[in-house]
Amino acid sequence: MVKRPAKPPKSIGLQQEPEPAVRSQARRPRDRDQPQLPFDPIPSRVEPCLAKLAVEPPNGDEWAFEVKWDGYRLALHNDGRSIRILTRNGHDWTQRFPALERAIAALHVSTVILDGEAVVLDDQGRSDFNALQNALGGRGGKKATGGEVVFYAFDLLYFDGHDLTRMALDERRHMLEDLIGEPGGTIRLSEEVAADGKAFLEAACNLGLEGIIAKRRDKPYRPGRNGDWLKIKCVSRETFVVIGYEPSTKLPGAIANLMLAAQRGEELVYVGSVGTGFSFAQATELKTRLDNLKVATPAAPVRAKRAVFVRPALEAEIEFRAWTNDGKLRHASYKGMRDKADRGSVYSLDE
C-alpha cells in the first residue's frame, strides 16, 4: 500500500500573531565613513614594489606603460583619523610635505593608501630631481616643501576599508582613475600611455625624460624587485656610495671629484669617479661635509695619489652613459645626494 504524504504543518504568518516572537530590527542610519562590508585593517606600511632594470621595453598586451618620474617615492596614508606620508624605507615625512597632506585629506574617501612619486616639474613639465632636493632644503635638510611639489599617483593599495594589493594592476588602476580628480591638482594620476613600448621609449628620450616604466597588468602588488615592474632608461642613472674625494687644485676648499662604489653582495666595489655636474657652491659644501667623515682606509680597494677617503655614509645619484671594459662608469655626471630616509637603492653589480 502506498502511504499518503504527511500533511504539512499549518503555516502561521508573523503578522497573524498577536505577540510576534520575532520582530524586525529598526533601521539605523549608515555611517558613511565606516564600510558595512567586512573590511581589512589598514596596514601601518606596505613594502613597496620596485622596478627591475631592463635594457629594452617588453612586448605584449599584458604590459602597461608609464613615464618614469624622477623624484622621491612616497606612500600617502589616510586611516580616517590621521594622515602619514612615508618614504620608501618607512620614514615619516608628513611634516615635509604639507601640501600633499592637505591634498590627501581633501580626497572624498574615508581610508586610503596611494603609492606614487613626489616631484618638482621644470618649465617643460619634466621632473627635476635637483629642484626637488632644493625644495626640501638639500640633502639632510629639514625644510618643508611648498606648492611646487606635486604627487603622481600610480597605484592604489588600500581603499575604503579594503586591501587591494591582491587585485590585478588593471583592477587597481580602474579604481585609482575614478579616485583622482581632474589633471593639474597637487595629486595627479600617472597616466598609462597607449603606445608600443619601443615607440614610447623613443618619444620619452626625445623629450628629455629619464625613461619609462612597464608593468604587468595581470599581477597583484608584490613587494620587492620581482620583475612585475620594469624600468627602461634613456640614460643610465643609479645611486652609488661615496667612498672618497680628490681636492681641487684650482678652487681652494672645493672637491675635484667624488670617488664612487657599488654593491657586490656584502662588499663595496670601486666603480670610478665623477667630476662634473656640481657647481662651485656644491663642490665646497660637499668638501665640508666629507671632511667630517674622513677615514684612513678606503671602504673599497682603490688606488689614488691625492684621494681623501671617507666613511661610506653618503649616497650620490649619478647619471652615466655606459661601463668601461674594466668596470668603471663612463661619462658620469653628478645629480645630487640621496637623503638617508630614501636609501635602499644602491646599485648592485649582481643585477
Same domain, 278 and 175: no
Same domain (yes/no): 84, 152:
yes
Same structural domain, 185 and 274: no
Q: Are residues 254 and 326 in the same domain?
A: yes
Burial pattern 62-77, b for ≥16 Cβ within 10 A else e, equals ebbbbbbbbbbbbbbb
Q: Looking at the domain assignment, is residue 40 inside a domain? A: no
* Domain range enclosing 284: 236-342
- Has residue 298 been placed in a domain? yes
Q: CATH number of the domain that 283 lies in?
A: 2.40.50.140
Query: Exactly one of 7, 68, 328, 335 is catalytic; which is it?
Result: 68
Round to the nearest angstrom and report the end-to-end CA distance of the chain. 84
Q: What is the pLDDT of residue 10?
A: 47
What is the count of structural domains for the chain?
Answer: 2
111 and 181 fall within a common domain = yes
Domain end among 167, 195, 223: 195
181 and 266, same domain (yes or no): no
Asked if residue 253 lies in contact with residue 260, where contact means CB atoms within 8 angstroms, the answer is no
Q: Do 179 and 274 have their domain in common? A: no
Q: Are residues 105 and 187 in the same domain?
A: yes
- Whether 115 maps to a domain, the answer reads yes
CATH number assigned to the domain comprising residue 103: 3.30.470.30
Contact 214, 63 (CB under 8 A): yes
Q: How far apart are CA 50 and CA 221, in angstroms?
A: 10
Asked if 261 and 159 sit in the same domain, the reply is: no
Write down the residue that cell numbers 602619514 correspond to: 84
Task: Find out whether 237 and 208 touch, Cβ atoms under 8 Å.
Answer: no
Model pTM? 0.69
Q: For the CA atoms of the chain, what is the radius of gyration?
A: 27
Domain boundary among 136, 163, 195: 195
Confidence at residue 14, expressed as pLDDT on a 0 to 100 scale: 42
Q: Is residue 38 part of a domain?
A: no
How do strand 229-233 and strand 211-216 relate by DSSP bridges? antiparallel
Residue 313 lies in a domain: yes
Q: Are residues 134 and 244 in the same domain?
A: no
The answer to whether position 293 is within a domain reads yes
335 flagged as catalytic: no
Q: Is residue 129 part of a domain?
A: yes
Find, among 117, 102, 111, 85, the residue nearest to 188 by Cα: 117
Beta bridge partners of 83: 78
pLDDT of residue 138: 60
Residues 171 and 80 in one domain: yes
Give, for all 351 residues of the chain, the pLDDT tens digit.
Answer: 445 555 554 444 444 444 554 554 455 565 666 555 678 999 999 999 999 989 899 999 999 999 999 999 999 999 999 999 999 999 999 999 999 999 999 998 999 999 999 999 998 889 988 889 888 876 555 677 877 999 999 999 999 999 999 999 999 999 999 999 777 889 999 999 988 999 999 999 899 888 999 999 999 999 999 999 999 988 888 899 999 999 998 888 999 999 999 999 889 999 999 999 988 999 999 999 999 999 999 999 988 888 999 999 999 999 887 788 888 998 899 988 887 656 557 888 875
**What cell numbers appear for 250 in the block?**
684650482
Contact 54, 215 (CB under 8 A): no
Predicted confidence at residue 107, as pLDDT, reads 92
Same domain, 140 and 246: no
Q: Is 240 domain-assigned?
A: yes
Residues for the chain: how many in total? Answer: 351
